[in-house]
Amino acid sequence: MKDELVKTLNDQMNFEFYSAHVYLAMAAYCSGESLDGFANFFLVQAEEERFHAMKIFKFLNDRDNRATLAALPEPKNEYSSMLDAFETAFAHEQQNTGKFYHLADLALDAREHATIYFLKWFIDEQVEEEALFSNIIHKLKRIEKDSNAFYMLDAEFAARSFTPPAE
């Protein structure tokens, strides 16, 4: 694998770890607002991001390359509302999608077929992630002032869990 591709895969792995950090901060914000269901939503999201990071970690090692960890930037810890938190998360996922597209372009240019195949899973995952956050934002905007609907959504998120996908 070309050095640039290895470096960019490492950057992406670290961004996935950072994404987990971002979602943990969002979970802490939700907990501070006594919205345990929303906190659970973001805790599950953080687990997914760590899973993604470790998937890249393993791929690098399996391809006889070294995974290298970097320091994580401090995430945003305060939000003006739950809508603000989800809009921030959606923008973060859109940024992540762009990073995977860039990685896929590098892999295509290098004719690195194993990496192209590997990245397909992540690109499909990003379509799901963006749709998830977009749908929640639409719901939050619809229920804007309806506290009953807001707490029903909080209860729905309390039941969310993470199950790693079968390989």
For 27-83, the pLDDT digits (tens) are 999 999 999 999 999 999 999 999 999 999 999 999 999 999 999 999 999 999 999
Q: Is residue 157 pLDDT above 90, yes or no?
A: no
Q: Is residue 114 part of a domain?
A: yes
- Quick check: 152 pLDDT over 90? no
Is 31 within a domain?
yes
Residues annotated within the binding site are 16, 49, 52, 93, 126
CATH number of the structural domain spanning residue 46: 1.20.1260.10
Q: Has residue 166 been placed in a domain?
A: no
Quick check: is 167 in a domain?
A: no
Domain assignment present for 28: yes
pTM, to two decimals: 0.90
Convert 99-125 to b/e letters by CB count within 10 Å (16 or more is b). Answer: bbeebbebbeeeebeebeebbeebeeb
Q: What is the pLDDT of residue 43?
A: 97
* Residue whose entry in the numeric block shows the structure tokens 């391809």: 63
**Inter-axis angle of helices 82-109 and 113-142, nearest 10:** 160
Domain of residue 148, residue span = 3-69+76-158
| Residue 119 lies inside a defined structural domain of this protein | yes
Residue 96 pLDDT more than 90? yes
For residues 51-77, one letter each, b for 16 or more C-beta atoms within 10 angstroms of the residue's C-beta and e for the rest, the string is: ebbebbbebbeeeebebeeeeeeebee
Please report, in range form, the residues annotated as the binding site for Fe cation. 16, 49, 52, 93, 126
> How far from the centroid of its chain's Cα atoms is residue 28's Cα?
16
State the DSSP string of 88-142: HHHHHHHHHHHHHHHHHHHHHHTT-HHHHHHHHHHHHHHHHHHHHHHHHHHHHHH
The answer as to whether 165 is a domain residue is: no
Count how many domains the chain has. Answer: 1
In-domain check, residue 38:
yes
